[in-house]
Chain A
Amino acid sequence: MGNDLVLRVVTKWLSPIIVLFALYVQFHGDYSPGGGFQAGVIFSSAILLYALTYGLDAALKVIPESALKICASFGVLLYAGVGVVSMLKGGNFLNYSVLLSDPVAGQHIGIIIIELGVGITVASVMILLFFTFARRVAPE
């Protein structure tokens, strides 16, 4: 949380790239290594970097804490919601095959949605943890 110019410039350039990489890991997880958990952690590391360089208040302006709390729960809800939808469609809980008329396409869309849920929850919880810890640091 210093005033180093180099850190500030590097962070400004680096954090969007990290976010972009997180989105790549999230949505390319079916083809390459990665998935929701990894993407969530990478996304949160971008916010952590920003908060470490620009301070907690600046980071809270980017993502307010109340939104994080809602997102953390929403991810789990999205995941379980896919399971409930598949039950309503006549399959077992979390059996994605019944989501669409084509079982394989149903599996694919189910996996993408639940990975998104995992990513949202993990990213929000990680950032929340950091914010909660960082608030305990007494101001200089």
Chain B
Amino acid sequence: MSLIVNIVLLVFLLVMALAVLKTRHLFAMAMLFGLYSLLVAGLFVVLDAPDVAFTEAAVGTGISTVLMLVTLASIRDGHEATTQGKSRTAPLIICVVMGGLLIYGTHDIAELGDAQSPPNREVAARYIEKGQEETGVPNLVTAVLASYRGFDTLGEVTVVLTAGIGVLLLLGNRKKIHVKSKGGQHG
């Protein structure tokens, strides 16, 4: 059953990716990216990872789509993407090589659900056996993220804060952004 769902989702994912490539309208592109994220979230649910699906649906489909739309609104009259007769072979080669490398890399990943793979034998087994006993938290994902790997999560939160500060520094002050006019006047 999950195989059929997987195939349907992956086919739609492919259709969505091709549609993003084909469309010239940036508004449609932003919405298609949102749908793409929604399909990925569906895939995560099939993989029994509701926590990740949650994040993907909220961030990928919600926030980032809205941010892209706001960006589009702020660059008025720029809703069409034009390509001016540039060579497309170099990007194609880069994409094919990169994709090939990624596919080659997947061979080193342990088989999905393989009980004998090192990550499943060592840490995961301990988390599952002792996790609830040690933390008293039934949701193991929360236990691992917040307690066993609390330091990692602290780093992640700091990254989020740093990203916010970066955006504020770049875009927060409106006066500094405007390009100097040709007359040489400041501001």
A interface residue numbers (CB < 8 A to B): 25, 29-38, 41-42, 44-45, 48, 52, 69, 72-73, 75-76, 79-80, 83, 93-94, 96, 103-105, 107-108, 110-111, 114-115, 117-118, 121-122, 124-126, 128-130, 132-138
Contact = CB atoms under 8 A, between A and B. Distances in A.
B119 interface: no
A33 B154 contact: no
Given A29-B142, A117-B157, A121-B157, A107 B147 contact: yes
Interface in B156-174: 156-158, 160-161, 163-164, 167-168, 171-172, 174
12 contacts: A31-B139, A34-B54, A36-B146, A45-B66, A52-B66, A69-B168, A83-B154, A122-B157, A126-B63, A133-B167, A133-B171, A136-B74
Nearest to B55: A38
Given A104-B136, A130-B66, A41 B160 contact: no
B164 A115 contact: no
A53 to B, nearest CB: 12
Given A75-B161, A96-B150, 14 more contacts: A33-B141, A37-B55, A41-B63, A79-B154, A80-B154, A107-B134, A111-B135, A111-B146, A115-B142, A128-B164, A130-B67, A133-B167, A136-B174, A138-B76
B58 A104 contact: no
Interface in B122-161: 133-139, 141-143, 145-147, 150-151, 153-154, 156-158, 160-161
User: Interface SS of chain A: helix, strand, loop or mixed?
Assistant: helix
A104 B135 contact: yes
Contacts, number: 146
Interface residues of B, number: 46
Contacts of B157: 75-76, 79, 117-118, 121-122
Contacts of A118: 153, 157
Interface of B: 50-51, 53-55, 58-59, 62-63, 66-67, 70-71, 73-74, 76, 133-139, 141-143, 145-147, 150-151, 153-154, 156-158, 160-161, 163-164, 167-168, 171-172, 174, 177
Given A35-B146, A137-B73, A132 B63 contact: no
A109 B150 CA distance: 13
A35 B164 CA distance: 20
B150 A94 contact: yes
A113 B115 CA distance: 34
Contacts of A126: 63
Contacts of A114: 146, 150, 153-154
Given A104-B135, A118-B157, A111 B143 contact: yes
A76 B76 contact: no
Given A79-B154, A114-B146, A132 B167 contact: yes
Contact of B161 (A73, A103, A110): A73
B138 A31 contact: yes
